[in-house]
A and B are shown apart, each in its own frame.
Chain A
Amino acid sequence: MITAIVGITFVVSYFIPHFPFNRMDAWFADWFSIIQACAIVLGALNLLKLSAQKVIGKKKDWGYALVIILSFALITIVGLSEGSDYRDPGTGFDWLYVNMFIPLSATMFSILAFFVASASYRAFRARNFEATLLLIAAFFVMIGRVPVGDVITGFMPEGWRLSDLANWIMDYPQTAGQRAIMIGIGLGVVSTSLRVILGIERAHIGSGE
């Protein structure tokens, strides 16, 4: 019932952006944000509970669980104590963000380059025509995105170098495939959303027990 009312309101407010639907749309959007804030409390409490259980029970690697609790406490206390201007340059929160959060997240994502490269080395085999197409497209996009690609094809006229080929692959065949996928996803999301709004799909609220 709640799901249906909220879902239908959002749909109707798109087509009739006038009172009362526009007002309800704004309220629902605000409530959504407030619930989000409470949901992160739930997530944080869960993380702290699991970490505290590890520390109290002196389980394996409990020291790292303690580090999780301490680092969470550090940034939370600093962030909450600084008021709503917590993100301004020069604040303690900004310092922790720039000197801890950014280096850690950037490095964490950058090491994926090694894992992706090693996984692709093991998995990529030109077994058939489709796999060869994938391999060739990946190769040309990668080599076309680095200066050496244009150095190798420097003798070719402008517009025919490896960087141009990489751009062409990204702009045309890649865009075409991406569009087919996006339209497919779009139609899938629309049908799933309709099922949810109409109450056909209700797994999210449990079995009703």
Chain B
Amino acid sequence: MEAAFEHFRLWLAAFLTLGIFSFLYKDNPWYKLSEAIFVGISAGYWFVVLFWDNFFGKFWVGAGDYTMQWLASVFTGGESPSAEGVDLMLWIGAILGFLMLLRLIPKIGWLSRWPLAFIVGATAGLWLINYIASNVMVQVQATMVPLFSTVFGAGFDAGSGVIIGGLVIFLGTFSGLVYFFFSKAHTGAFGTTARVGVFFLMITFGASFGYTVMSRMSLLIGRIDYLLGDWLGMIK
């Protein structure tokens, strides 16, 4: 029975993998079936994860469960539950979440703007700080470094590779930023620097493209490895 189940498991994954691959030939019912399963499974997966991790893990554990037990004790006259670790402010989050669902009722759908305003405000506040810290300050700090280590010792390196590398990074970052500065016409020395920035940006796009293709290739190799190895047993 266990062996049959194991076979079923292998065949199911292979069936779905080949179904998606079949799109390389052309759109067909096998691909559409696999695609539909993928859409349903993905949506369900995130639904379950967010339910248990966010709703249950935050709200129910922090306030919902206590509130239900407290209400039960009030109505039945029993002992009140312990309020240790309870944070009733989480109810505001639940109410905002509930208001979000009111979008489904057109007449009072406008109430969903409140949680939306909250989400946008929170995201703006978080990003304002995070981006200025990680995308601006840290990157500038990492670019403005000495051309070689100024501290003699184990980490000392004043090789030409390090110096050239440091110059390339400084020049590339600076000229790239000049290219993104649109408040001044790209003419003269400014325009020449911006053009050098374009060269660096092109190398970046090309390298990122190559890197992306190779990461997709490694996923492809993983799936082929599954089909030929785990499923068909041709690769030991």
Separation of A185 and B46 alpha carbons in the complex (Å): 28
- With an 8 Å Cβ cutoff, the count of chain B residues facing the other chain is 114
A53 CB–B CB distance under 8 Å: no
B142 at the binding interface (Cβ < 8 Å): yes
Chain A residues contacting B104 (CB-CB under 8 Å) are 42, 45
Quick one: which of A1-54 are within 8 Å of B by CB? 1-11, 14, 27-45, 47
Stretch from B72-80, B149-157, B206-214 contacting the other chain:
B206-214
Bound-complex Cα distance A35 to B114 (A)? 11
Interface residues on A, range: 35 or more
A7 to B128 CA separation, bound complex (whole angstroms)? 9
- Nearest-neighbour CB distance to chain B for A143, whole angstroms, equals 9
A37 to B78, CA, bound (A): 32
Q: Determine which residue in A11, A84, A186 has the highest number of CB atoms from chain B within 10 A of its CB, and name it.
A: A186
B-facing residues in A53-95 (Cβ within 8 Å): 61, 64-65, 67-76, 79-80, 84, 86, 93, 95
The answer to whether the Cβ of A153 comes within 8 Å of any Cβ in the partner chain is: no
Bound form: Cα–Cα A152–B142 in Å: 35
7 new A-B contacts at CB < 8 Å, known A11-B129, A40-B50: A9-B125, A71-B39, A79-B48, A107-B223, A134-B205, A137-B202, A138-B207
User: Residues of A at under 8 Å CB distance from B?
Assistant: 1-11, 14, 27-45, 47, 61, 64-65, 67-76, 79-80, 84, 86, 93, 95-97, 99-101, 103-114, 116-117, 120, 129-131, 133-142, 145-146, 166, 168-187, 189-190, 192-194, 196-197, 204-206
